[in-house]
Every structure is written in structure tokens, then in C-alpha cells.
């Protein structure tokens, strides 16, 4: 194919395939609020020239023409297109008292050369936008943290870029990387990086700390990574050696090879939610394999028409997303069977890795408040506005903003930030005409008040209502 290609394919660009522009997708009452101490104030460069000496080095090391050809194709990732996938989700405003907000998700996909971009699609149908990252050259595999920050392997630039949920771009401090590919991020903030041209995997604490090399043996151009934190195990796609290996991330034990049959040029890896099944992009065979992590035979995921699949990701329901690299698309395979569908991205070129971030469900529990009228001048004081914000499992969420208003949400009373126990508290002082004060007072006594959490990239929205009693 005349285009920037993926592993094992020609790397000649086709000007006609260059991507074009993308579609980018009042109250008369005055009020002051007295809040708890935690209350919130108001609101690309071209590919490397020439042919470096890696061909001779890897040909010598591989010892066969097939290996040399495969490595040449693989390392075209350094000057060509690649693919990988992982999705992302965000929260929407809640719609019912005491209920979590409706779930929403966004899927990110990296585009290798020549696009050098990362696209984000609000599932299921858009809009699609471009992630505000500058200077990327061959973005490949990606990871998302729980705060919504996106980590991108900027492969040709031999660096890892971090784009925060607010759009701030920084570079993760690393040493000696040469064409990084696969990424895996632990809950503790340790970032594992497949340092492909150095035939190793390194671990970097993203909050600062010393880079270390993960003990491995015999890797040649590692690509995708998958981390099982329950068992402290890291899976590595050893591309040139046609295998996937597993190494411990803590404690003793050595490297082992995952039992597979007929594997050729593995690229992307993904584990299901319980780390019971490992999914492998078998790019040389244009298929995706599913291998039980506790032993058992491999199976082939039912797909049609894949061409050099790369990155993989699974959502919470174990629906599988595949970067179908040479077909310039991302496909979705339902967890419970059924035909695959194409995710409706527009004008993708050499997609590499999809990532999905699904917001954690939350619950907000509001408590009874009291209201007291004052007649000279007319004012209303609402005390005891309080709500506790937790994850669905009951763990408190600290540092999140909760807003308090009347039940119909036509009057905001105050807002506060949750403390270490997940509780937000504030007192509202509302001023206006006697008629306005009387109307709001009756509204609160009859309908109560509403507390709402609008959600973040990491947490779903939620809301709840509670009674308001008169205070005499």
C-alpha cells in the first residue's frame, strides 16, 4: 500500500491519503453564602531522514531473513503508522433525586504519521474533537489516569507526553528512551513504558522518582503492555519474537511465556476487568486472540476484515475496541456476541491505540436543613445544607464541589467542597423583596432543596433532595 504503514507493511506515503481538516466538533434575589472552610470561591515534524543502523544490528541479532524483514516492518513504526486503542468516559448531570447521573464515555484514538494527532469521540455518536497536544511526531500507545490526564507515547520524539484534563501539556521525565510504544499505568502512579528500540521495559513514577528497568529476558522490540495489579504481573507483547511474556512487578519469580499457538507479531494487549482473560492483537494473522490467564486454550475473537490490528481496550461491560490500523478505523465487538460495528470516527489515518475512561459511579446523600425568615430587611437564612458524596461502593470523595439550590434548580443557594469524609456543608443568606423571600421560603418548605454534583472526567454526576424545616 502506498501510505505510511504499520508493522510489516510498506512505509511509502501517499499524498492523497493525507488527512484534511476535521470537523470540530437571571434571579432578582441577591444572596451571600457562609460556607465551611473547604468551600469553593465563585466560579509535526516529518519522519526521521535516512536509514539508521538499526537494520544491520537487528538483522544480525535475529539470525534469519524472516526476522530481519519483520523487524524492518516493525521499526517502520519509527517512520510509519501504527495502531492501538483505549476508551474514555465522562459524567452528565443527574436527573433524579438520589440517583447517579447518566453515564457517558469518550473514546480516544491516536493517529500515527502523517496525522500526528489524537482524536476524542464522545460515544456513541460524537462530537469528535482533536486533543490539544502540540509537537507530536508518531503518537502511538496511550494511557489515562483517574483524574482524566492522557499519557501519549510520542514515539518518533522518544518521549512521553502528558495532557491534563484541563489541556495542560507536559513531558514525563524519562532517561534514554528510544522510540517508546506500549504504556501501562498503575493506580499508584507508576508508568510502565515499552522502550522498543532499547529492547526493554522501564518503570517511571509519574509523580517524580528514579526510573528503573523491569527485569526481562530476550525482548526484541516490545510493543503493547497490560498490567494486572491484583497479581502484580505485567504482560509484554514481544513483537519480533512472536510471543507474549509475563513478568512480576513485585516480589519474586521470573519471566514466563504466555501459552499461545500460531502467534505472529503481537501488538496491542488488554485485560478484562477481573484480569481473567488476556486479549492479544495478533497483527501478523489479522486477528485478535483471547487467552485465559489461569490456563486453558486460546480462542479467536469473532471479527471480520481486520488488517494489522494494533491497540485494544475494553469497557466495563467487556465490549472490545480494536484499532484496525490498515483499515483506518476502530471496531467494537460486543461482549455478549453479535456483529462488530465501526466506531464513527471521521477521517482516521493509521490509528494506533484506543483508550477509554469510564467515569466512576457516585452517590450523593442530602440531609435535612432549616430555613428562617427575617423581616427587616427581608432575608432568608438556610442553615444545615449538607450532602455526603461517595463512590458507589461507599468510599468518600473529597475535594469535589457540591451545589445547593431549590428543588426546581431555579435558585442557587450556595456551594461547598467535600471534606475528607466526603461531606459538603454551607449556609445560605438570601436577600430580596418580602414577596420574593416569602415565595422562596414556601417553595423550600414544600419541595425541599436539591444538592447536585456535576461530575468530572473521573466521576459520574449525582444528585439528591432533602427536606427543609422552618426554624423559629
At residue 173, the pLDDT reads: 96
pLDDT mean across residues, the chain:
82
Of these ranges, 8-12, 32-36, 218-222, the one predicted with the greatest mean pLDDT is 218-222
Is the pLDDT at 103 greater than 60, yes or no? no
CB atoms within 10 A of CB 396: 15
Q: Which of 65-74, 365-374, 450-459 has the lowest mean pLDDT?
A: 65-74
At residue 143, the pLDDT reads: 97
Strand 362-367 versus strand 329-333 pairing type? unpaired
Q: What is the mean pLDDT of residues 89-103?
A: 35
Q: Which of 22-31, 86-95, 175-184, 268-277 has the lowest mean pLDDT?
A: 86-95
Q: Is 347 left (phi over 0), alpha (psi -120 to 50) or beta?
A: left
Q: Please, which residues bridge with residue 357 across strands?
A: 106
pLDDT tens for 371-405 read 999 988 999 999 999 999 998 789 999 999 999 99
pLDDT tens for 266-311 read 999 999 989 999 999 999 999 999 999 998 899 999 999 999 999 9
Q: What is the mean pLDDT of residues 36-55?
A: 33
Q: Which three cell numbers stand for residue 59?
A: 538483522
Q: Which of 33-37, 167-171, 196-200 has the lowest mean pLDDT?
A: 33-37
Question: What would the 3-class secondary structure string for the chain be?
Answer: CCCCCCCCCCCCCCHHHCCCCCCCCCCCCEEEEEECCCCCCCCCCCCCCCCCCHHHHHHHHHCCHHHHHHHHHHHHHHCCCCCCEEEEEEECCCCCCCCECCEEEEEEEEECCCCCEEEEEEECCCCEEECCCCCCCCEEEEEECCCCCEEEEECCCCEEEEECCCCCEEECCCCCCCCEEEEEECCCCEEEEEEHHHCEEEEEECCCCCCEECCCCCCCCEEEEEEECCCCEEEEEECCCCEEEEEECCCCCCCEECCCCCCCCEEEEEECCCCCEEEEEEHHHCEEEEEECCCCCCEECCCCCCCCEEEEEECCCCCEEEEEHHHCEEEEECCCCCCCEECCCCCCCCEEEEEEEECECEEEEEECEEEEEEECCEEEEEEEEEEEEEECCCCECCCCEEEEEECCCCCEEEEEECCCCCEEEEEEEEECCHHHHHHHHHHHHHHCEEEEECCCCCECCEEEEECEEECC
Is the pLDDT at 5 greater than 90, yes or no? no
Is residue 104 within 8 Å of residue 94, measured between CB atoms? no
Helix axis angle for 54-62 and 65-74, nearest 10°, is: 140
**Residue 66 dihedral angles phi and psi, to the nearest 5°:** -60, -45
Q: Which three cell numbers stand for residue 409?
A: 434548580
pLDDT tens for 321-357 read 999 999 999 999 998 888 999 999 999 999 999 999 8
* pLDDT > 90 in the chain, percent: 67
Q: What pTM does this model have? A: 0.70
Is residue 323 within 8 Å of residue 139, measured between CB atoms? no
Q: Which of 9-13, 57-61, 141-145, 298-302 has the lowest mean pLDDT?
A: 57-61
At residue 126, the pLDDT reads: 87
CB atoms within 10 A of CB 339: 11
**Cα radius of gyration rounded to whole Å, the chain:** 26
Q: Please, which residues bridge with residue 104 across strands?
A: 90
Is the pLDDT at 83 greater than 90, yes or no? no
Amino acid at each position: 500500500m502506498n501510505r505510511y504503514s504499520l508493522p510489516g507493511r510498506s512505509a511509502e506515503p501517499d499524498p492523497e491519503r493525507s488527512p484534511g481538516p476535521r470537523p470540530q466538533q437571571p434571579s432578582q434575589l441577591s444572596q451571600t453564602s457562609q460556607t465551611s472552610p473547604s468551600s469553593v470561591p465563585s466560579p509535526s515534524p516529518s519522519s526521521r531522514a535516512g536509514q539508521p543502523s538499526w537494520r544491520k544490528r537487528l538483522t544480525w541479532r535475529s539470525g534469519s531473513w524472516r526476522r530481519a524483514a519483520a523487524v524492518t516492518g516493525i521499526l517502520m513504526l519509527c517512520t510509519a503508522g501504527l495502531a492501538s486503542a483505549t476508551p474514555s468516559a465522562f459524567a452528565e448531570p443527574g436527573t433524579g433525586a438520589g440517583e447517579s447521573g447518566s453515564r457517558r464515555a469518550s473514546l480516544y484514538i491516536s493517529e500515527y504519521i502523517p496525522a500526528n494527532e489524537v482524536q476524542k469521540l464522545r460515544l456513541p455518536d460524537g462530537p469528535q474533537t482533536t486533543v490539544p497536544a502540540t509537537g507530536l511526531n508518531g503518537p502511538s500507545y496511550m494511557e489515562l489516569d483517574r483524574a482524566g490526564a492522557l499519557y501519549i507515547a510520542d514515539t518518533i520524539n522518544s518521549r512521553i507526553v502528558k495532557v491534563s484534563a484541563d489541556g495542560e501539556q507536559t513531558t514525563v521525565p524519562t532517561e534514554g528512551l528510544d522510540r517508546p510504544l506500549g504504556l501501562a499505568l498503575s493506580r499508584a502512579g507508576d508508568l510502565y513504558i515499552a522502550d522498543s528500540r532499547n529492547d526493554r521495559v522501564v518503570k517511571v513514577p509519574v509523580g517524580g522518582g528514579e526510573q528503573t528497568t523491569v527485569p526481562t529476558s530476550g525482548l526484541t522490540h516490545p510493543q503493547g503492555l497490560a498490567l494486572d495489579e491484583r497479581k502484580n504481573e505485567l504482560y509484554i507483547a514481544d513483537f519480533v519474537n512472536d510471543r507474549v511474556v509475563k513478568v512480576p512487578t513485585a516480589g519474586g519469580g521470573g519471566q514466563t511465556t504466555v501459552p499461545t499457538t500460531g502467534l505472529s507479531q503481537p501488538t496491542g494487549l488488554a485485560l478484562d476487568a477481573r484480569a481473567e482473560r488476556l486479549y492479544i492483537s495478533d497483527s501478523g494473522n489479522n486477528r485478535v486472540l483471547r487467552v485465559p490467564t489461569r490456563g486453558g486454550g486460546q480462542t479467536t475473537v469473532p471479527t471480520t476484515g481486520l488488517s494489522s490490528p494494533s491497540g485494544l481496550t475494553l469497557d466495563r461491560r467487556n465490549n472490545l475496541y480494536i484499532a484496525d490500523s490498515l483499515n483506518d478505523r476502530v471496531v467494537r465487538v460486543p461482549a455478549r456476541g453479535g456483529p462488530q460495528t465501526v466506531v464513527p470516527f471521521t477521517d482516521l489515518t493509521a490509528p494506533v491505540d484506543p483508550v477509554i475512561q469510564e467515569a466512576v459511579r457516585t452517590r450523593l446523600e442530602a440531609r435535612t436543613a432549616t430555613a428562617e425568615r427575617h423581616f427587616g430587611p427581608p432575608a432568608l437564612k438556610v442553615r444545615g445544607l449538607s450532602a455526603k458524596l461517595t463512590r458507589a461502593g461507599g468510599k468518600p470523595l473529597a475535594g469535589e464541589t457540591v451545589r445547593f439550590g431549590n428543588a426546581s434548580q431555579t435558585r442557587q443557594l450556595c456551594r461547598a467542597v467535600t471534606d475528607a469524609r466526603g461531606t459538603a456543608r454551607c449556609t445560605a443568606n438570601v436577600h430580596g423583596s418580602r414577596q420574593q423571600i416569602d415565595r422562596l421560603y414556601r417553595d423550600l418548605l414544600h419541595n425541599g432543596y436539591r444538592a447536585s454534583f456535576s461530575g468530572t472526567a473521573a466521576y459520574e454526576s449525582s444528585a439528591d433532595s432533602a427536606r427543609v424545616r422552618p426554624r423559629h
